[in-house]
Amino acid sequence: QDPKYPAENLLSEDGIQPWLGCPKDRKRQLSVELQLERASPIGYIDIGNHGCAFLQIEVGRSSWPCDQPYLTLVPTVTLMTPADSKLDQNRCGVRMFKEGKD
């Protein structure tokens, strides 16, 4: 991750701060695992995009066996078109995902 923009920014209440990959690292995929203090229903999720082309959200429970896979909450969605990515445009935006819709 970029030292200036660590994953902890996802939980920041002090304004909007992105979580970015390290500019020197050419990995094409980043992942983060967040654990809530207690089981909570998820009715909606708002995702602020900062240069991410695709997104997938999976959920699970800490009480599940280690070999049980996560369940897909939001299947892979496109946040940037291939043209936007190549032209480095429309990098920022917000997508809202609500139960039964995307």
Report pLDDT digits (tens) over 23-41: 777 777 788 888 888 888 8
26 and 5 both lie in a single domain: yes
26 and 41 both lie in a single domain: no
The parent domain of residue 27 ranges over: 1-33
80 and 49 both lie in a single domain: yes
45 and 29 both lie in a single domain: no
Which of 19, 76, 73 shows the shortest CA–CA distance to 51? 19
- pLDDT tens, residue by residue, 50-81: 778 888 999 999 889 999 999 999 999 988 88
65 and 89 both lie in a single domain: yes
**Is the whole model's pTM more than 0.85, yes or no?**
no
Please report, for the domain that includes residue 61, its CATH number. 2.60.120.260
Number of structural domains the chain divides into: 2
